[in-house]
Amino acid sequence: MKKIKSFHECDFSCLTKTFRIMRITVFLMLAVILQTFANEVYSQKTKLSLDYTNTRLEDVLDEIEEFSEFFFLANEKLVDLNRNVNLSVKNKKIDEILDILFAGTDVVYTITDRKIILAPSFLTEHAQQQRTISGKVTDSGGQPLPGVTVVKKGTTQGTVTNAYGDFSLANIPEDATLVFSFVGMRTVEVVVGNQATINVTLEIDAIGIEEVVAVGYGTQRKVNLTGSVAAIEATDLANKPVATTSQAIAGLVPGLSVVQNSGRPGTSATVRIRGTGTFSSAGNNPLVLIDGMAGSIDDVSPDDVESISFLKDAASASIYGSRAANGVILIQTNKGKDGKFRVSYNNSLGWQKPTELPDFLSSWEYATYYNEAMENMGNSAAYTTEQIQKFKDGSDLDNYPNVNHLEWLLNSGSGFQQRHNIGLQGGNDRIIQNFSIGYWKQDGMTAKTSNERYNVLWNTKSKLLESLTLDTHLNSYTNLYKAPNGEPQSIDGIIGYAVRQGPIYAGHKSDGSFGYQDSYSPEAWLASESFVKNNVVNITGTVQFSWATPIKGLSVSGKTGITYNTNYNKAYRAKTYFDDSKTVGPATLSVVSGNNTYKAFEGLVKYEKQLASHSINILAGSTFDEYKENYLTGYRNTFPNNYLYELTSGAASSMSNNGYSNEWSLLSYFGRINYSYLDRYLMEMNARYDGSSRFASNGRWGFFPSVSAGWRISQEKFWQNSELNNVINNLKLRGSWGVLGNQNIGTYPYQQTYSLGQNAVWGSPGTMVSGARITTFNNPEITWETTRILNIGIDFNLWSGKINGGIDYFDKYTDNILSSVQVTRIMGRSVGQSNIGAVSNKGIEINIEYNTKFGKDVRLSFAPNFTYIQNAVEELADGALTDINNNRIVGEPLGIIYGYKTNGLFVDQDEINAAPNQLISKGGLKPGYICYKDISGPDGVPDGMVNSTYDRSVIGSTTPKFYYGLSINASYIGFDFSALLQGLGGHQRLIGSYMAYTFYNGGQIQQWQVDNRWTTKNPDKWAKYPRLETLNMSNTNLQVSDYWLRDASFLRIKNVQLGYTFTKSFVSQLGLQQLRVFFSGQNLYNFNSFYKGWDPENEISTGDAPSFYPINSIYSFGINAKF
| Residues between 351 and 390 that touch other proteins (CB under 8 A) | 371, 374, 377-385, 387
**Residues in 286-345 that interact with other proteins by CB under 8 A:** none
Nearer to other proteins by Cβ, of 446 and 887: the residue is: 887
**Residues in 653-692 that interact with other proteins by CB under 8 A:** 653-654, 656, 659-667, 669, 691-692
Report the candidate in 171, 170, 194, 169 with the shortest Cα–Cα distance to residue 180: 169
Nearer to other proteins by Cβ, of 844 and 880: the residue is: 880
Nearer to other proteins by Cβ, of 414 and 755: the residue is: 755
Nearer to other proteins by Cβ, of 383 and 1115: the residue is: 383
Angle at 858 between CA 853 and CA 859, to 5 degrees: 50
**Minimum distance, C-beta of residue 599 to other proteins, in the bound complex (Å):** 10
Task: For residue 632, state whether it binds other proteins (rule: CB under 8 A).
Answer: no
Q: Is residue 522 a contact partner of residue 445, using CB atoms and an 8 Å limit?
A: no
Q: Are strands 930-932 and 988-989 parallel, antiparallel or unpaired?
A: unpaired
Backbone φ and ψ of 404, nearest 5°? -90, 95
Choosing from 622, 633, 649, 958, the residue that interacts with other proteins (CB under 8 A) is: 622
**Minimum distance, C-beta of residue 486 to other proteins, in the bound complex (Å):** 12
Choosing from 948, 1063, 1068, 1089, the residue that interacts with other proteins (CB under 8 A) is: 948
Q: Pattern 1086-1115, binding to other proteins, x per CB under 8 A?
A: ------------------x-----------
**Minimum distance, C-beta of residue 888 to other proteins, in the bound complex (Å):** 11
Q: What single string gives the DSSP state of each residue in 572-588? A: EE--EEEETTEEE-S-E
Backbone φ and ψ of 474, nearest 5°? -130, 120
Report the candidate in 433, 432, 452 with the shortest Cα–Cα distance to residue 441: 452
Nearer to other proteins by Cβ, of 469 and 1061: the residue is: 469
Helix axis angle, 94-101 to 57-67, nearest 10°: 170
**Residues in 807-846 that interact with other proteins by CB under 8 A:** 821-829, 831
**Minimum distance, C-beta of residue 329 to other proteins, in the bound complex (Å):** 23
Q: Pattern 1032-1061, binding to other proteins, x per CB under 8 A?
A: xxxxx--x----------------------
Choosing from 582, 1024, 1092, 1122, the residue that interacts with other proteins (CB under 8 A) is: 582
Per-residue HEC secondary structure of 801-848 comes to HCEEEEEEEEEEEEECCEEECCCCHHHCCEECEEECCEEEEEEEEEEE
> Across-strand partners of 105?
none
**Minimum distance, C-beta of residue 460 to other proteins, in the bound complex (Å):** 19
**Minimum distance, C-beta of residue 224 to other proteins, in the bound complex (Å):** 27
Angle at 1113 between CA 1122 and CA 502, to 5 degrees: 150
Number of neighbouring beta carbons within 10 Å of residue 1063: 10
Task: For residue 693, state whether it binds other proteins (rule: CB under 8 A).
Answer: yes
Task: For residue 637, state whether it binds other proteins (rule: CB under 8 A).
Answer: yes
Task: For residue 945, state whether it binds other proteins (rule: CB under 8 A).
Answer: yes
> Across-strand partners of 677?
614, 681
Total of residues contacting other proteins (CB under 8 A)? 129
Choosing from 173, 766, 938, 1071, the residue that interacts with other proteins (CB under 8 A) is: 766
With b for 16 or more beta-carbon neighbours within 10 A and e for fewer, the 960-995 pattern comes to bbbbbbbbebbbeeeebebbbbbbbbbbbbbbbbbb
**Minimum distance, C-beta of residue 326 to other proteins, in the bound complex (Å):** 23
Choosing from 3, 114, 559, 888, the residue that interacts with other proteins (CB under 8 A) is: 559
Q: Are strands 1050-1061 and 1074-1088 parallel, antiparallel or unpaired?
A: antiparallel
Nearer to other proteins by Cβ, of 722 and 752: the residue is: 752
Q: Which helix (H) or strand (E) holds 720?
A: helix 717-720
Task: For residue 346, state whether it binds other proteins (rule: CB under 8 A).
Answer: no
Report the candidate in 228, 246, 232, 234 with the shortest Cα–Cα distance to residue 288: 246
**Residues in 456-485 that interact with other proteins by CB under 8 A:** 465, 468
Nearer to other proteins by Cβ, of 820 and 847: the residue is: 820
Nearer to other proteins by Cβ, of 1003 and 1096: the residue is: 1003
3-state secondary structure of 995: helix
**Residues in 385-444 that interact with other proteins by CB under 8 A:** 385, 387, 399
**Minimum distance, C-beta of residue 342 to other proteins, in the bound complex (Å):** 32
**Residues in 902-931 that interact with other proteins by CB under 8 A:** 917, 919-921, 923-924
**Minimum distance, C-beta of residue 90 to other proteins, in the bound complex (Å):** 20
Report the candidate in 665, 658, 592 with the shortest Cα–Cα distance to residue 626: 665
Given phi > 0 = left and psi -120 to 50 = alpha, else beta, which region is 175? Answer: alpha
Q: Pattern 217-256, binding to other proteins, x per CB under 8 A?
A: ----------------------------------------
Choosing from 9, 396, 518, 857, the residue that interacts with other proteins (CB under 8 A) is: 518
**Residues in 743-762 that interact with other proteins by CB under 8 A:** 747-748, 751-756, 758-762
**Minimum distance, C-beta of residue 947 to other proteins, in the bound complex (Å):** 4
**Residues in 699-738 that interact with other proteins by CB under 8 A:** 700
Q: Which helix (H) or strand (E) holds 420?
A: strand 416-427
Choosing from 605, 798, 968, 1084, the residue that interacts with other proteins (CB under 8 A) is: 605
Choosing from 18, 245, 1030, 1086, the residue that interacts with other proteins (CB under 8 A) is: 1030
**Minimum distance, C-beta of residue 18 to other proteins, in the bound complex (Å):** 40
Task: For residue 583, state whether it binds other proteins (rule: CB under 8 A).
Answer: yes
Choosing from 268, 882, 958, 1101, the residue that interacts with other proteins (CB under 8 A) is: 882
**Minimum distance, C-beta of residue 919 to other proteins, in the bound complex (Å):** 5
Backbone φ and ψ of 162, nearest 5°? -90, -170
Task: For residue 935, state whether it binds other proteins (rule: CB under 8 A).
Answer: no
**Residues in 107-166 that interact with other proteins by CB under 8 A:** none
Q: Is residue 403 a contact partner of residue 503, using CB atoms and an 8 Å limit?
A: yes
Nearer to other proteins by Cβ, of 611 and 826: the residue is: 826
Task: Please give the Cα distance from 811 to 314 (Å, whole number).
Answer: 10
Task: For residue 541, state whether it binds other proteins (rule: CB under 8 A).
Answer: no
Q: Is residue 969 a contact partner of residue 978, using CB atoms and an 8 Å limit?
A: yes
**Residues in 37-96 that interact with other proteins by CB under 8 A:** none
Task: Please give the Cα distance from 291 to 307 (Å, whole number).
Answer: 10
Nearer to other proteins by Cβ, of 136 and 509: the residue is: 509
Task: For residue 940, state whether it binds other proteins (rule: CB under 8 A).
Answer: no
Residue type, 15: L
Q: Is residue 541 a contact partner of residue 535, using CB atoms and an 8 Å limit?
A: no
**Minimum distance, C-beta of residue 557 to other proteins, in the bound complex (Å):** 7
Task: Please give the Cα distance from 501 to 507 (Å, whole number).
Answer: 10
Q: Are strands 830-831 and 776-777 parallel, antiparallel or unpaired?
A: parallel
Report the candidate in 322, 340, 176, 1078 with the shortest Cα–Cα distance to residue 744: 322
Task: For residue 770, state whether it binds other proteins (rule: CB under 8 A).
Answer: yes
Nearer to other proteins by Cβ, of 660 and 677: the residue is: 660
Nearer to other proteins by Cβ, of 774 and 941: the residue is: 774
3-state secondary structure of 132: coil
300 contacts: CB under 8 Å, gap ≥ 6: 245, 290, 331, 333, 475
Task: For residue 624, state whether it binds other proteins (rule: CB under 8 A).
Answer: yes
Angle at 1063 between CA 1058 and CA 1068, to 5 degrees: 125
Given phi > 0 = left and psi -120 to 50 = alpha, else beta, which region is 914? Answer: alpha
Task: For residue 213, state whether it binds other proteins (rule: CB under 8 A).
Answer: no
